[in-house]
Amino acid sequence: MGASDYNEKVLDHFANPRNVGEILNADGIGEVGNPVCGDIMKIYLKVENNIIEDVKFKTFGCGAAIATSSMVTELVKGKTLEAALDVTNAAVAEALGGLPAVKMHCSNLAADAMHEAIKDYMEHHKK
């Protein structure tokens, strides 16, 4: 796989990822990984009144893994937790204009990491 296998939007999110880093004292943290390809994604959430006020990610992986992590943060920032739970890996890939088929299963775990962060938040903030 080379850079020419990716569209311009994927390459932009890889070269200029949005929302990189971690949130100290995050309200929710989700981590997923794929042992086959070695991609690991960690998502941090700051939640206020059921709204994702801030979201950051750290990803160890290929360009597609970084691009999908970046895109999922853009898709959920400012949304309710319920709306963020509705974001699927397919929706992330679609928002990026598509991913090569070989990358869909291993590198597109971003929505899974987001869902794990939301579950973590809900477990620690039950009312």
Q: Which of 62, 83, 106, 122 is catalytic?
A: 106
| Burial of 27 from C-beta contacts in 10 A (0-12 / 13-18 / 19+) | buried
Helices (H), the chain: 8-15, 63-76, 81-85, 89-95, 101-104, 110-124
62 catalytic? Reply is no
- DSSP for 68-103, written as a single string: HHHHHHHHHTTSBHHHHHT--HHHHHHHTT---HHH
Q: Which of 11, 37, 62, 122 is catalytic?
A: 37
106 catalytic? Reply is yes
Total residue count of the chain as it appears in this document: 127
d(CA 95, CA 68): 9
Token pair for 98:
């598509």
Tell me which residues are annotated as active site.
Answer: 37, 106
